[in-house]
Structures are given as C-alpha cells and as structure tokens.
Amino acid sequence: MKILEMNHIRKSFGSLDVIKDISLSVSEGEILSIIGPSGSGKSTILRCATMLETIDSGEIIYLGEKAAFTSDGGNVVYAKGEKAKKINSNFGLVFQNFNLFPHYSVLKNIMDAPIHVQKRDKAEVLETSRALLKKMGLSDKENYYPCQLSGGQQQRVSIARALCMKPKILFFDEPTSALDPELTLEILKVIRDLAKEHMTMVIVTHEMTFAKEVSNRIIFMEKGVIVEETTPDKLFNSDNERTREFLGKYYNS
C-alpha cells in the first residue's frame, strides 16, 4: 500500500527553481533515504510533503487522498478543513533543530498536539507519552524543560512527540546535523530501532553509511532533480559518474 505519492512536483523561490519535476512514492513499511549536496532540494521536498511549503505544480497524495493537486486552470488546490486535518494526521516530521516549545515541559511537549489537535483522551495520551519516553530512555526527564537537556535528548523528545501522533509515515530532516558525533550515534540507534519495527520513514541525511544500512531505497538528488533512485547496494556501486563523485570515500564501502 502506498502511503505517499508525490507526482511532478515543482517548487521555486523567486527565480530559483529548487524542485524540478520530481516524482516519488513511499509504500507502507518502507524506508527511503534522500541524499545529495547542500542546496539540492532535499529538505524542500520534505517541507512540500508536509505542507510547510506550497508547491507550484504537481500533486501530493496520502493513502489515496489528494492533499494537493494542480487544477485545470493551473492553480494548486490544497485540501481544507476536516479533510486536511485527516490527511495531516498521516505524517510526522522531526526537524534538525528539534523545534520543541521551550516553555513546555518534556511531557507537555509530547502531549499537547494529541490532546488539542487530535482531541484524544488525556489519560490515553499520558500513557502513550510515558511509554514513548521509556522507549527513548527519558523516563526520568518528563518534568524537565528543553534547555535542561542535551541536544541528543532534545531530539529524542522530538521523535517521541512525532510518534505520539501515531503517524503512518515519519519524515526526518537531517535529524543529526545539529549534533556532535556521540549524540549522532544516539539518534541513529533510535531510527534503527524504528526501522526494526517497520515504521515507514523518509530520511534526509548526510550519514551515508547509515543510509546504506537502514534504507530499502535511496534517492540521490542534485540541483532539484533526482539523479538516481535505487537500492543501497546498487547506489553505492553506481556507474553514474556524479553519484560516484558525491559518494567519494564511501564508494565501495
């Protein structure tokens, strides 16, 4: 079953074409990594998929429901109201800079959206939140504030917050780029554990070895287009000159 389909997506900022006619899909239980040099459009495609950026043309479909499409008149139409709310409940997004509310405790950061956006039962959300904190090794931190946590702990809270919404697909936008090497390993372990549980994920990352190990498919992007999309083994043994050049020391690793 396809969770996400993005067809012929285009996105410009002024005269800069950041995404040029990109199509991709993600099936249930699949892990797709997106790699490429800075400025290639990796984070923008994630922001388009999660409605943080509006597309210029194309369509975005979650579980067969159109979140956005180009009308016959050439305008992009987005789902509204209850339909939009339903579609948005399908995904979660983990940012590179955590994006936690500084004035909320760890527990309130996790519980707030499920209660106020999804209107779920408070007792059920509390139970789920505490189970996720335990899973993240943060049971003793529920009353802490983000400023009292390390970067790795903050990122684990943001992953727990996304998971508490019970998404069908989880997006990671360079989840380790703000962390030092030791904390990076901490977060990569969390994502590996989610992979073992068959969580559907799209991961924008600079961690090549990790992408090779955890992904079912990898997309290599550059200058707003998909240069290559294939399995990790094939990508890391690619005949494509640009792919080989980018992978550099990772090539044949």
In a domain, 134, yes or no: yes
In a domain, 182, yes or no: no
In a domain, 23, yes or no: no
In a domain, 217, yes or no: no
Q: Are 206 and 228 in contact (CB under 8 A)?
A: no
Whole-prediction pTM value?
0.93
In a domain, 156, yes or no: yes
In a domain, 230, yes or no: no
The DSSP line for 72-101 is: TTS-EEE--HHHHHHHHTTEEEE-TT----
Pick the closest to residue 224 from 5, 12, 6, 68 (CA basis). 12
Strand partners, 171: 93, 202
Q: Reply yes or no on whether the pLDDT at 182 is more than 90.
A: no
In a domain, 6, yes or no: no
Q: Reply yes or no on whether the pLDDT at 253 is more than 50.
A: no
Count how many domains the chain has.
Answer: 1
In a domain, 107, yes or no: yes
Residue 132 sits in which domain range?
Answer: 102-166
To the nearest whole percent, how much of the chain has pLDDT over 70?
A: 98
Output the average pLDDT for the chain: 94
pLDDT at site 96: 87
